[in-house]
Structure 1
Amino acid sequence: MKIFDEIESEVQSYARSFPRVFNKAVGEFLYDQEGNEYLDFLAGAGTLNYGHNNPLFKEKLLEYIHNDGITHGLDLHTQAKGEFLEAFNEKILKPRGMEYVVQFTGPTGTNAVEAALKLARNVTGRENVISFTNGFHGVSLGALSATGNSHHRGAAGVSLSGTSRMPFDGYLGEDIDTTAYLDKVLSDSSSGIDKPAAVIVETVQGEGGINAASFEWLRNLEKVCRKHEVLLIVDDIQAGCGRTGTYFSFEQAGINPDIVTLSKSLGGYGLPFAVVLFKPELDLWKPGEHNGTFRGNNFAFVTAKAAIDHYWSDDKFAQEIQRKGAYVSKRLDAIIDAYGEGNFTTRGRGMFQGINCVNGELAAKITRKAFQQGLIIETSGADDHVVKFLCPLIISDENLKKGIDIVEQAIKEVCAKEDSIPEEKDYFEPTRLAS
């Protein structure tokens, strides 16, 4: 650990929560230099939906490297890119009735957000963008202006302009539809809110605390955007690629975003990769008007295609995610019933769920105890008060149960409560689908 203390910046964060030197990872497990095994419920903050070193992807990647496949190609046409685009179009977009242009941006989620905001402003000729309370879209300056968290915003060093903040679903209470407020301010020329180029929203706010917007709220938001001729951007960087039970997190709401950002698990293998999807009529870019040396990652094209071919050629994988998500919901509800006493509630959907604690101190105690028992799990939310379940989607039933058992035991110890939840039940659905 000495070299990290000597020369690595103080900006490091996850290493503080999990002070080990890791050197191996397989599936849903991480291993440190001493050979200790850890069940991973962090999964690269949602980058490893298909697990660590997925053997199906590794084989394709090693074959590509062995054959001297293109590593870096700027935005040149490469075979790997073409095959990814073909698979994405035929197996993701067309079956969902979606027609989008694909823009390859820099390799991270914040790069995709920057491109999306820039495109929306160029297309509409307007500057303002509507973002939401507790939203998180990245920490480069443009994306940071749409991010709500004061900890991240405070590090900017400059004023962050160009956005107006609106209350997310549930922010003002369960019975208040905050899209009605948005409609009101956009309808009132004296509201002080300039007509925006776009609205940017996460259907489930990951870093903001696993706040899941209702499908009705999302549909109402789309209606407001259409009424006022404002572009709708869905930031699906963490909630997409199957995390909520469908490939895109907005599918079940039945909305049709103008622009979608994807990254994190898009590349499948944990390789940096980000894109912006947008409707063809919005493709007003001039050649090279928005670029970057690392736009498009040929290694990630290979593994992204493998992920689509193996997991998204039919709906079996989506059904498996939904089944596991239902199990997570039942387990978390049972834990809350047993230990809640006003300290805990649940939130989220699919395999993107969390336990909302009464404060960040309580959540931190739970995750520390869980780590002592071999589980890597983090917190999120404005005060780090939500224990965030973000395990690989391919996790086995046995290890999913094991991880939640560890969290339950940690909660029991932290709450110093001797009672346990009822006799062990089979929380999984009785019929298991083929993987």
Structure 2
Amino acid sequence: MSLTTTVRNATFEHMLEMLRTQNAAKLDVVAPATTLRARDGAIELAGIEPVVDDHGVTVVDGLYVPTAAADTTIATKLDISVKYLRRLRVERPDLFDANVNGLLHGKSRRTAGGTTTVVYPADSRSFLLRLFRGQDGEPGVLRALLSDRFGMVDNLDLLTAVLDGIRQADVEVEIRSCDLTDSSMHCKVYSPAVARLAPTLLAGYRNPFANRELEAERQRITTDLDAGRRAAAAEGLGYEPGGEPVVFAGFRFSNSEIGSGSVMLKPELYVRICRNGLTLPALAYRRVHLGQKMEGGTVGWSQDTVKKQLDVIAAQARDHVREWLSPRFLARQVEQLEQQAGTPVTEPQSTVRVLGRELGFTEAEREGVLRHFIAGGQPTAAGIAHAITSYSQTVADPTRADALDDLALRAMTLVR
């Protein structure tokens, strides 16, 4: 299937275009486990009524190839190791089929006398399957196998709700970048009108991406077509040597359409010179995807049901934006960080090693943070935080990059 499902460091316009294209290809089906069958490493649906909508009549029955994210949801629902299941689908699709079908359909034995004995019962559950339609006769895509109580909040709807909340808050903002994967969406917003001096937090800090090798690492994971132009202009976004050390008020929001995360909004401090974002996860707003049990068949939620959910999210976005993008909130956060930012780091290698062990970094992540710390030229606790958030921009997986950003300020407080 040629539908594009991932992008890193995209513009808002590019993200919006992708989400609209994806929405046109979506199908959602609630089906009993016994109507699903694995075949050649894909999932086959049978007995589902066709969909009649603005796109015409779509036959739902057929094959759907799982994404890597869908493998995780299948493994979770069937209580199989995802690493094992994923390997079988690639290397031994026959064993993938045998495992999945055995767990879904159970096992019966027929005796010589014609009596059927159930050895292992079939799975009695129903599942929500999130799908993309197949195109030009090709199989479709299985995005996720989820609980039939999963509360759907789609990315485009969330984006619209948050933008509505921003409009209601009447705060000037810019969406600085967006990421989209098979499992999640991440958007980063800041207000150019709400800034604060942070002389200790940014003392002596220089843009690590002035180092061509580090900038090349960031560009290798950027998939937006306009990113090259933005990268070329990156120095123009920063401050001239001797310029004011300023941070901006901002926030992030994220969502997963397939259950690998909740709706999340959290504040951040944005350092425009290098596009670092220091998130404040302790203040995050989180809304779990949990809904009422859905009936079998193709899912088409009423506009009233969807509107009620999105109105709540829009109201939360409005209230949080008013708080997080206010000068008072930014001043309070900067004041607290300034007290910890200047702690000296005299032994970078050992400091990064200890922090990496404490915060669960991989060896590659520890090495990357150390390179960015040295390139940033700021031998303080603040330099550690900036190194983590600049390194995260070179990480291909936006969910992991976001998790690293959440650890940056905690790392700063751990420096002794």
Q: TM-score, normalised by structure 2?
A: 0.28
Structure showing greater radius of gyration is 2
Which protein has the bigger helix share?
Answer: 2
Which protein has the bigger strand share?
Answer: 2
Higher RCO (CA < 8 A, seq sep 6+): 1
Q: TM-score, normalised by structure 1?
A: 0.27
